[in-house]
């Protein structure tokens, strides 16, 4: 849930923001209103609107100047984005979004869903993908609309656990461009996963909820290793050559309940561990602020319960900081802890985030610390 770069990787940032928003916000609560709601965008020649049922969909956050996220009562997510990076031709739009979307979500493999598959109509093209994210069967319907004046609109509808795409189909009927409506025709049904039941993402490691067996991750570029407990964390993504400088190896972990995440990132891009902490903290808080429309400037440094002092460390080979705040009524802790290799050539940073009523340092940090203490640099 971290942006994987700038400019050409904007869609990685968008899906990262969307996943973070889903983790912290959860499913929409549902409302009693009967009337339809409409989101309208009209700026710099880009015009589109989305009409939706507020009993099914609840506005999440605007993740960009011309983007919208909707969360459904069953936990599904729909994102809408109009951006020059989509291109100006429908034929090339899907190629510009599907791969970056899956890289941003941490998918290492995926397959086209047999039903409804892919197709096109007057003013739109679509493709459906079956993925496995954190051991959850996930179906993503990508649709690109020609909204007029050389502008495109990309919509990604994400459903979980083999749920049907019916609500997404209905939602898409409420999309209009600049005085343009669409006669949509999607094949009915969805596979909700690969037909053979084979996970399409991750490294085959069981997700959270296992029996306490540890799995070792080895950095493909720098050779360091960490271990994590399968009963606590599932792998949601791995990356090589990620980050703003394209030099990071990335391991993304998340618990089964979606209440906490842990990223392990190794790189030679940082001058020292202080720089590592500053960089990773700015990135994760930037995502939270953009995706959840919150300001984290009021976050305060957490108190280390063991020492009674602020959890803030700056040493020759280690730097760390932990901040506390509140997001959507939940106590939220963000911790960044960076370690330098003995020769100082490689730094590994751990970013832990949790939004839960549980006590972070008593209930969550011990598992984070177990992963951190398992770090071994290549000899």
- 90 and 147 in a single domain? The answer is yes
Nearest to 354 by CA among 226, 258, 253, 256: 258
Instruction: Output 336 or 305, whichever has higher pLDDT.
Output: 336
Q: 165 vs 139, 168, 254, 266, CA distance in Å? A: 8, 5, 25, 38
Peptide bond into 121 cis (omega under 30): no
pLDDT at 39 over 60: yes
Which residue shows structure tokens 């990773």?
280
- 232 and 319 in a single domain? The answer is yes
- 169 and 218 in a single domain? The answer is no
Residue 305 lies in a domain: yes
Residue 187 lies in a domain: no
**How many separate domains does the chain show?**
2
- 37 and 170 in a single domain? The answer is yes
CB-based burial, 122-161: b 16+ in 10 Å, e otherwise: ebbbbbbbbbbbbbbbbbbbbbbbbbbeebbbbbbbbbbe
Task: Name 336's Cβ contacts closer than 8 Å, sequence gap at least 6.
Answer: 276, 277, 280, 281, 284, 320, 321, 322, 349, 350, 351, 352
Using pLDDT thresholds of 50, 70 and 90, give the confidence band for residue 10.
very low
- Rounded to the nearest 5 degrees, what angle is found at the Cα of 217, between the Cα atoms of 213 and 218? 150
Using pLDDT thresholds of 50, 70 and 90, give the confidence band for residue 336.
very high
Q: Are 160 and 191 in contact (CB under 8 A)?
A: no
Give the predicted TM-score (pTM) of the model: 0.52
Q: What is the pLDDT of residue 221?
A: 94
Q: Are 336 and 351 in contact (CB under 8 A)?
A: yes
Residue 182 lies in a domain: no
Distance between terminal CA atoms of the chain? 30
Residue 339 lies in a domain: yes
- 226 and 122 in a single domain? The answer is no
What range does the domain containing 124 cover? Answer: 7-176
Q: What is the distance between the alpha carbons of residues 128 and 122, in angstroms, rounded to a whole number?
A: 18
CATH code, 287:
3.40.1000.10
- 117 and 230 in a single domain? The answer is no
- 315 and 238 in a single domain? The answer is yes
Query: What are residue 127's DSSP bridge partners?
Result: 118, 142
Residue 72 lies in a domain: yes
In a 10 Å sphere around its CB, with 0-12 CB exposed, 13-18 middle and 19+ buried, how is residue 37 labelled?
Answer: middle
- 19 and 95 in a single domain? The answer is yes
Helix axes 90-104, 10-25, angle to 10 degrees: 50
Per-residue pLDDT of 54-86, as tens digits, reads 988 888 755 444 578 888 877 788 888 888 878
Using pLDDT thresholds of 50, 70 and 90, give the confidence band for residue 113.
low
Residue 203 lies in a domain: no
Which of 126, 147, 176 is the endpoint of a domain? 176
pLDDT at 297 over 80: no
Q: What is the distance between the alpha carbons of residues 86 and 147, in angstroms, rounded to a whole number?
A: 12
Q: What is the distance between the alpha carbons of residues 287 and 2, in angstroms, rounded to a whole number?
A: 7
Q: Helix, strand or coil for residue 2?
A: coil
Q: Are 97 and 153 in contact (CB under 8 A)?
A: no
Per-residue pLDDT of 254-293, as tens digits, reads 887 778 899 999 999 999 999 999 999 998 888 777 766 6
Tokens read off for 265:
């990132």
Tokens read off for 62:
């605007």
Residue 159 lies in a domain: yes
Q: What is the pLDDT of residue 198?
A: 26
Q: What is the pLDDT of residue 23?
A: 46
pLDDT at 144 over 60: yes
- 338 and 240 in a single domain? The answer is yes
Q: Are 89 and 161 in contact (CB under 8 A)?
A: no
Residue 378 lies in a domain: no
- 65 and 117 in a single domain? The answer is yes
Q: What is the pLDDT of residue 9?
A: 41
Q: Helix, strand or coil for residue 19?
A: helix
Q: Are 258 and 71 in contact (CB under 8 A)?
A: no
Which residue shows structure tokens 């598992």?
367
């Amino acid at each position: 849930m971290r942006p994987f770069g700038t400019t050409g990787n904007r869609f990685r940032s968008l899906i990262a923001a969307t996943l973070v928003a889903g983790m912290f916000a959860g499913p929409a609560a549902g409302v009693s209103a009967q009337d339809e709601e409409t989101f309208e965008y009209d700026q710099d020649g880009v015009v589109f609107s989305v009409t939706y049922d507020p009993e099914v969909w609840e506005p999440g956050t605007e993740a960009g100047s011309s983007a919208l996220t909707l969360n459904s009562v069953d936990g599904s997510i729909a994102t809408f984005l109009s951006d020059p990076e989509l291109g100006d031709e429908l034929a090339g739009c899907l190629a510009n979004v599907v791969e970056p979307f899956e890289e941003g979500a941490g998918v290492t493999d995926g397959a086209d869903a047999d039903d409804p598959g892919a197709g096109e109509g007057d003013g739109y093209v679509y493709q459906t993908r079956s993925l496995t994210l954190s051991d959850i069967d996930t179906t993503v319907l990508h649709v690109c609309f020609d909204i007029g004046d050389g502008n495109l609109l990309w919509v990604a509808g994400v459903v979980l656990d083999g749920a049907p795409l019916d609500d997404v189909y209905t939602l898409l009927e409420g999309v209009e461009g600049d005085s343009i409506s669409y006669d949509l025709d999607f094949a009915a049904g969805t596979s909700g996963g690969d037909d053979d039941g084979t996970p399409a993402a991750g490294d085959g490691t069981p997700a959270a909820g296992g029996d306490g067996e540890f799995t070792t991750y080895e950095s493909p570029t720098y050779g360091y290793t960490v271990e994590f407990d399968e009963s606590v964390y599932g792998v949601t993504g791995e990356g090589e050559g990620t980050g703003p400088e394209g030099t990071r190896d990335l391991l993304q972990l998340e618990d089964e309940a979606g209440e906490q995440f842990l990223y392990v990132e190794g790189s030679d891009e940082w001058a020292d561990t202080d720089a590592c902490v500053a960089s990773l903290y700015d990135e994760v808080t930037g995502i939270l602020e953009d995706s959840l429309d919150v300001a984290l400037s009021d976050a305060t440094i957490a108190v280390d319960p063991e020492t009674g002092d602020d959890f803030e460390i700056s040493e020759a080979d280690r730097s760390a900081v932990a901040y506390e705040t509140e997001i959507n009524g939940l106590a939220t802790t963000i911790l960044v802890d960076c370690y330098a290799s003995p020769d100082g050539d490689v730094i590994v940073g751990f970013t832990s985030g949790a939004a839960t009523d549980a006590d972070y340092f008593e209930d969550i940090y011990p598992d984070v610390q177990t992963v951190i203490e398992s770090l071994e640099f290549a000899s």
